[in-house]
Structure 1
Amino acid sequence: MILQTPTEPIPIQEIPVDKNIKLFIKREDLVHPQISGNKYWKLFHNVNTYLENQIEDPIIITFGGAFSNHISAVSAIGKLAGIRTVGIIRGEELQHKWRDNPTLLFAFRNGMNLKFVSREEYRNKEKLSEFLQQGFPNALIVPEGGTNEDAVQGVKMMLNNETKDFDYLCTAVGTGGTIAGISEFCEENQKVIGFKVVHDSSLEDTIDQLTLKKNYHLIDSDFGGYGKIKDENIRFINDFKEKYNIPLEPIYTGKMMQRVFELIEEGYFPDNSKILCFHTGGLQGIEGANLLLEKQNRKLII
Structure 2
Amino acid sequence: MNLVENTIPESPLQQIQDALLTKHGVRLSIKRDDLLHPIIHGNKWRKLKYNLVAFAHSGKSELLTFGGAFSNHLYASAAAGKIFRLSTRAIVRGPQLDQRNPTLRFAKACGMQLHPVTRIEYRQRNSPEYLEQLQQRFTKAFILPEGGTNAAALKGVAELANSLPEHQFLVCATGSGGTLAGLLSGQTQTQVMGIAVLKNAEYLKTQIAKLQPSPNCDWRLLCDHHDAGYGRFSPELWRFCQWFERTHKVPLEPIYSGKMLYALWQLIEQDYFPSGSHIIAIHTGGLQGKDGLRYRGLIGAN
Q: Say whether the fold is shared (TM-score over 0.5).
A: yes
- Are the counterparts in 1 of residues 55 and 63 from structure 2 also a CA contact under 8 Å? no
* More displaced 10-residue stretch of structure 1: 208-217 or 149-158: 208-217
Aligned match of 1:251: 255
1:2, distance to aligned residue in structure 2 (A):
5.9
TM superposition shift of 1:150 = 0.7
How far the C-alpha of 1:183 sits from its partner, in A, is: 1.3
Deviation digits for residues 37-88 of structure 1 (CA, Å, limit 9, x no counterpart): 00001010111221144x25x1111111111000000001111122211111
Is the partner of 1:235 in helix, strand or coil?
helix
Q: Partner of 1:83 in structure 2?
A: 86
Distance 2:105 2:91 in 1: 14
CA 187–171 in structure 1, closer or farther in 2 if over 3 Å, else same: same
- Alpha-carbon separation, structure 2, partners of 1:2 and 1:63: 24
What corresponds to 2:158 in structure 1? 156
Q: Deviations over 1:192-251 (max 9, x none)?
A: 000101234431121111112262101122210100122112101100110011101111
Off by >6 Å, runs of 4+ in structure 1: none
Check whether the contact 1:164–1:187 (CA below 8 A) recurs between aligned residues. no
CA distance in 2, matches of 1:129, 1:52: 20
Q: Is the 8 A contact 1:234 1:301 kept in 2?
A: no
Change (3 A) 1:301 1:278: farther
> Given the two structures, how large is their TM-score scaled by the length of structure 1?
0.91
Match of 1:273 among 271, 274, 277: 277
Match of 1:65 among 61, 64, 68: 68
Partner Cα separation in structure 2 for residue 192 and residue 201 of structure 1: 16
Correspondences of 1:127-206 after superposition (within 5 Å): 127-161=129-163, 163-188=164-189, 190-199=190-199, 200-206=201-207
CA distance in structure 1 between the partners assigned to 2:235 and 2:90 by the alignment: 31
What SS does the corresponding residue of 2:89 show, helix, strand or coil? Answer: strand
1:286/1:301 contact within 8 Å kept? no
For 1:225 and 1:252, the matched residues in 2 are separated by 11
Deviations 1:67-111 (A, max 9, x none): 10000000011111222111111111x43xx22110011001101
Q: Are the counterparts in 2 of residues 234 and 300 from structure 1 also a CA contact under 8 Å? A: no
The farther-off stretch of 103-112 and 204-213 is: 204-213
Would you say how many aligned residue pairs link Structure 1 and Structure 2? 290
Code of the residue aligned with 1:194 in structure 2: it is G
CA–CA distance in 1 between the matches of 2:137 and 2:205?
Answer: 32
Whether 1:22 aligns to 2:24 is no
Per the TM alignment, residue 138 of structure 1 is displaced from its structure 2 partner at its CA by 3.2
Q: Which moved more, 1:270-279 or 1:150-159?
A: 150-159
- Please give the alpha-carbon distance, in whole angstroms, between the structure 2 residues aligned to 1:227 and 1:44: 26
Aligned partner of residue 71 in structure 1, secondary structure: helix
8 Å CA contact 2:72, 2:288 repeated in 1: yes
Q: Quickly say closer, same or farther: Cα 1:63–1:128, change in 2 above 3 A.
A: same
Residue 101 (structure 1) aligns with: 101
| Two-structure CA RMSD over aligned residues (Å) | 1.6
1:41 aligns with 2:52: no
SS at match of 2:287: coil
Give the conservation status (yes or no) of the 8 Å contact 1:62–1:88: yes
Q: Distance in 2 between matches of 1:105 and 1:155?
A: 28
Q: Percent identity?
A: 40
> CA–CA distance in 2 between the matches of 1:191 and 1:201?
18
Where does structure 1 lack aligned partners over 5 or more consecutive residues? none
User: Given residue 53 of structure 2, which amino acid in structure 1 is its aligned partner?
Assistant: N
Give 1:135 shift: 2.0
In structure 2, do the counterparts of structure 1 residues 219 and 301 end up closer, same or farther at CA, with 3 Å as the change threshold?
farther
* Residue ranges of structure 2 left out of the alignment (5+ in a row): none
Secondary structure, counterpart of 2:99 in structure 1: helix
Following the alignment from structure 1 to structure 2, what is the Cα–Cα distance between the partners of residues 242 and 218?
29
Q: CA deviation at 1:142?
A: 0.7
1:2 to 1:70, Cα distance in 2 relative to 1, 3 A:
farther
Q: State the one-letter code of the partner of 1:33.
A: P
